[in-house]
């Protein structure tokens, strides 16, 4: 029976032979070896190896799933608040490290000088407006006066010329009457002389002689009257010539009227432009008056270096506002860590000061390494070259509401961990 079992099951026969050989070779204490225990150890080793391998794979995937750096800090845009005008600081409405809202009055500069400047600018503007109105009224009046003067002086010239012509005709007529009167006077004198001879001879009565003498005296008076008429006619001609000269002068003056109208129009335009200049001066004065109140440009915490009594100049920095609601993280990653880093990836930020963890995301990656923005950037083309792994700033933005308590302050050290998947 044992031989048949051994023949049917060779493995059992081999195991029996092994036990018999072992018992025979041991002289002091028999040792029994069971093949099943050796198989269990093998499976335990294989299982442990599988666990270690799987754990290694998961650990590798976890470690490859994020990049972290402790070269990170909190950043923010600081808002310097400076004076835009010069003056005496009469009030400071904020204290050190006080939290203020946007538009809050921080500092007041004495406004009296600027109130006077506004009043002066308003007066200058009113004066310019009055001058412009007067000149704009003068333009149409001057145009009408010029047209009337041209018309009237032309008529006066024609009248003077007509008067000269009429006076010359009167002079000619007077001269003709003089000649006629002188001729009659000569005849009358001759008649007197003849009648005087005849009267001496008593050939004519004395009455005829007296009549001839009277006629001669009448003719002499007629000559005198004709000469006076000639003188009067010549005087009229002279007066007409004077009126002509005067009319011509007035006409020439009237001819310059359009130029005077154009000059008046230019002065009106200049006065209108002066209104614009005065208006700009008034607006500037009003702006300067408004600048006497210095307001907070953003909501944030104030750091001040101004006190009451200080005389400030334009551009002098008085305060700095730190907008704590707008902070972000600047994480300087090695260039070898940026292979899989992209905008939008989630980030966990651990703050050194309070140990809290904040949530954020990658906003952007800087366009150059940090050293290139320094005052003296490195120049690798000279000297001995040593390759150094560079760091590139990565901007990390906090999720809304993460810094509600404002515990993250600019300049704090943090640790940033970017999840790449």
For position 403, what pLDDT does the model report?
92
CA atoms within 13 A on the CB side of 339: 5
CATH 2.40.30.170 is the classification of domain 66-79+323-419: yes
Query: Does residue 361 sit in helix, strand or coil?
Result: strand
Query: Does residue 212 sit in helix, strand or coil?
Result: helix
For position 114, what pLDDT does the model report?
95
Nearest to 117 by CA among 85, 89, 156, 146: 85
User: Which CATH code for domain 80-109+291-320?
Assistant: 2.40.50.100
Alpha carbon dihedral 69, 73, 76, 82, in 10-degree steps, equals -150
Q: What are φ and ψ of residue 90, in 5° steps?
A: -105, -10
The boundaries of every CATH 1.10.287 domain in the chain are 114-283
Query: Does residue 256 sit in helix, strand or coil?
Result: coil
> Please, is 129 exposed, middle or buried when counting C-beta atoms within 10 Å of its C-beta (0-12, 13-18, 19+)?
middle
Cα 154 to its chain centre, rounded Å, is 56
For position 385, what pLDDT does the model report?
73
311 DSSP β-pair partners: 88
For position 209, what pLDDT does the model report?
65
For position 267, what pLDDT does the model report?
74
279 is written with which tokens? 């208006």
Alpha-carbon distance 26 to 14, whole Å? 19
E strand or H helix at 74, and its extent? Answer: strand 66-75
**CA distances (Å), origin 208, targets 191, 193, 313:** 10, 12, 123
Nearest to 181 by CA among 237, 219, 138, 236: 219
For position 259, what pLDDT does the model report?
60
331 is written with which tokens? 């994480």
How many residues make up the chain in this entry?
A: 421
For position 225, what pLDDT does the model report?
76
Q: What is the pLDDT along the chain (421 residues), one digit of tens a residue?
A: 344 434 344 444 444 444 444 444 444 445 554 555 556 777 888 778 888 887 777 666 665 678 899 999 999 999 999 999 999 999 999 999 999 999 999 999 999 999 999 999 999 999 888 887 776 665 565 565 566 665 666 666 677 777 777 777 777 777 777 777 777 767 767 666 766 666 666 666 777 666 767 777 776 777 777 777 777 777 777 777 777 777 776 666 666 556 666 666 777 777 788 888 889 999 999 999 999 999 999 999 999 989 999 999 999 999 999 999 999 999 999 999 998 899 999 999 999 988 899 999 999 999 888 778 777 777 776 667 778 888 999 999 999 999 999 999 999 999 999 998 7
For position 145, what pLDDT does the model report?
58
Could you tell me the pTM of the whole model? 0.58
E strand or H helix at 302, and its extent? Answer: strand 300-304
The boundaries of every CATH 2.40.50.100 domain in the chain are 80-109+291-320
The boundaries of every CATH 2.40.30.170 domain in the chain are 66-79+323-419
What's the CATH class of domain 114-283? mainly alpha
For position 8, what pLDDT does the model report?
42
Rounded to a whole number, what is the largest CA-CA distance in the chain? 239
């Amino acid at each position: 029976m044992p031989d048949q079992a051994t023949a049917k099951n060779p493995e059992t026969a081999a195991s029996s032979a092994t036990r018999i050989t072992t018992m025979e070779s041991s002289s002091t204490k028999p040792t029994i070896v069971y093949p099943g225990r050796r198989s269990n150890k093998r499976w335990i080793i294989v299982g442990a190896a599988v666990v270690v391998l799987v754990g290694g794979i998961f650990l590798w995937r976890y470690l490859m799933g994020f990049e972290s750096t402790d070269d990170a800090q909190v950043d923010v845009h600081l808002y310097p608040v400076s004076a835009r005008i010069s003056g005496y600081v009469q009030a400071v409405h904020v204290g050190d490290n006080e939290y203020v809202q946007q538009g809050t009055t921080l500092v007041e500069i004495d406004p009296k000088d600027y109130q006077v400047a506004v009043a002066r600018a308003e007066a200058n503007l009113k004066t310019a407006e009055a001058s412009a109105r007067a000149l704009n009224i003068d333009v149409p009046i001057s145009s009408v006066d010029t047209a009337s003067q041209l018309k009237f002086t032309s008529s006066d010239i024609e009248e003077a010329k007509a008067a000269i012509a009429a006076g010359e005709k009167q002079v000619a007529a007077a001269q003709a009457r003089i000649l006629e009167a002188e001729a009659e006077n000569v005849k009358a004198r001759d008649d007197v002389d003849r009648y005087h001879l005849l009267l001496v001879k008593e050939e004519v009565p004395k009455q005829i002689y007296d009549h001839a003498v009277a006629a001669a005296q009448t003719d002499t008076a007629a000559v005198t009257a004709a000469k006076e008429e000639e003188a009067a006619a010549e005087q009229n001609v002279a007066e007409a010539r004077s009126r002509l000269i005067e009319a011509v002068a007035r006409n020439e003056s009237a001819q310059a009227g359009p130029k005077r109208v154009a000059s008046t129009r230019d002065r009106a335009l200049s006065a209108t432009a002066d209104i614009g200049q005065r208006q700009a001066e008034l607006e500037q004065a009003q702006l300067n008056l408004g600048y006497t109140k210095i307001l907070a440009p953003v909501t944030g915490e104030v750091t001040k270096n101004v006190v009451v009594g200080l005389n400030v100049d334009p551009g002098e920095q008085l305060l700095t506002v730190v907008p704590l609601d707008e902070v972000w993280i600047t994480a300087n990653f090695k260039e070898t860590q940026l292979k899989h880093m992209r905008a939008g990836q989630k980030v966990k930020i651990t703050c050194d000061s309070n140990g809290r963890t904040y949530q954020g995301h990658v906003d952007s990656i800087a366009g150059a390494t940090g050293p290139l923005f320094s005052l003296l950037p490195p120049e690798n083309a000279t000297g001995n070259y040593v390759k150094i792994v560079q760091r590139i700033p990565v901007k990390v933005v906090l999720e809304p509401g993460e810094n509600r308590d404002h515990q993250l302050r600019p300049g704090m050290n943090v640790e940033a961990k970017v999840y790449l998947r």
